[in-house]
């Protein structure tokens, strides 16, 4: 994005680490970081003030987040420096952003204005809109610093073991289905991802010998088998419509996220097993 002042151009782009969240008491500072560069000369030399408003894209008027201004004016001849813009966010705004983005990347829109300070001739201001896309991982880590949530991501490797590699791909598909709102489909994919887990852990046999034991008498392997088999039975309610039972099952986004996270953790655990 470039602001052209006739012979002098100020360019801005999001920095590699484009966002920081600084915690407060009920309100927090969202800091956006830009890389600023300049070409040409602004005569007479003047400082530039950067300000604007921040919006959450696709949320309409409810997506307005606040006003922001750069901490220091930019010198007209500055090049290759970082510029920060701060906006205050409440706990309620952060919760609203989380509900709106639904696990996807966070897309913000900055309506920016650059003004020549002290200018009296001509029109000393330029305006532009800039879209800022923040990945799910970067935003979730920032939230974790506020103690507003915990960020847990499980990397499931694509191994040379065919059924485990297929299960990992099923989890990728499940995450895409969550993003598109097909929560039942995502739970069904999580169920499929448990097939190699059940085979590697001898789940059915261990579950059969453990189910009639008192819980405190079960071995560690039997307890893992109980968890795996119960998860599989629960997730099986998504692809099946059994009369009187699973045909009435309803799946929310939170259900789908929990199912995928459970399957991912159990699948990753196979790395430590033969």
Does 2-136 match 162-272 in CATH topology?
no
What would be the CATH architecture of the domain defined by 2-136?
Sandwich (2.60)
Instruction: Count Cβ neighbours within 10 Å for each residue of 248-274 and write b for 16 or more, e otherwise.
Output: ebebeeebbbebbebbbebbbebeeee
Residue 62: the pLDDT is 62
Question: Rg of the Cα trace of the chain?
Answer: 26
- Domains in the chain: boundaries: 2-136, 162-272
Percent of the chain with pLDDT over 70: 89
Residue whose structure tokens are 């813009």? 85
Number of Cβ within 10 Å of residue 154's Cβ equals 15
Cα angle, residue 22 at apex, residues 19 and 25 outer, rounded to 5°: 145
With a cut of 50, list the residues of the chain below it in pLDDT: none
Chosen CATH of 162-272 out of 1.20.120, 2.130.10, 3.40.50, 3.30.460? 1.20.120
């Amino acid at each position: 994005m470039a602001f052209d002042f006739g012979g002098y151009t100020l360019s801005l782009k999001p920095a590699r680490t484009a966002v920081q969240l600084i915690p407060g008491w009920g309100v927090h500072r969202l800091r956006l970081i830009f890389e600023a560069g300049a070409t040409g000369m602004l005569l007479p030399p003047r400082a530039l003030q950067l300000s604007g408003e921040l919006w959450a894209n696709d949320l309409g008027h409810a997506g307005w987040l606040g006003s922001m201004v750069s901490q220091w004016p930019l010198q007209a001849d500055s090049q290759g420096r970082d510029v920060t813009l701060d906006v205050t966010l409440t706990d309620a705004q952060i919760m609203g952003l989380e509900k709106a983005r639904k696990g996807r990347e966070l897309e913000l829109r900055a309506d920016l204005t650059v003004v020549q300070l002290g200018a009296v001739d001509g029109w000393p201001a330029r305006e532009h809109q800039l879209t800022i896309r923040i990945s799910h991982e970067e935003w979730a880590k920032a939230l974790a610093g506020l103690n507003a949530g915990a960020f847990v991501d499980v990397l499931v490797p694509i191994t040379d073991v065919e059924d485990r590699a297929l299960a990992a791909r099923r989890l990728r598909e499940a995450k895409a289905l969550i993003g598109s709102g097909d929560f039942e489909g995502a739970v069904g994919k999580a169920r499929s991802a448990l097939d190699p887990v059940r085979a590697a852990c001898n789940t059915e046999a261990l579950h059969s010998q453990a189910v009639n034991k008192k819980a405190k008498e079960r071995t560690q392997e039997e307890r893992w088998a109980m968890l795996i088999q119960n998860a599989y039975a629960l997730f099986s309610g998504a692809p099946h419509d059994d009369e009187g039972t699973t045909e009435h099952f309803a799946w929310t986004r939170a259900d789908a996220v929990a199912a995928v996270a459970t399957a991912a953790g159990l699948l990753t655990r196979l790395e430590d097993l033969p």
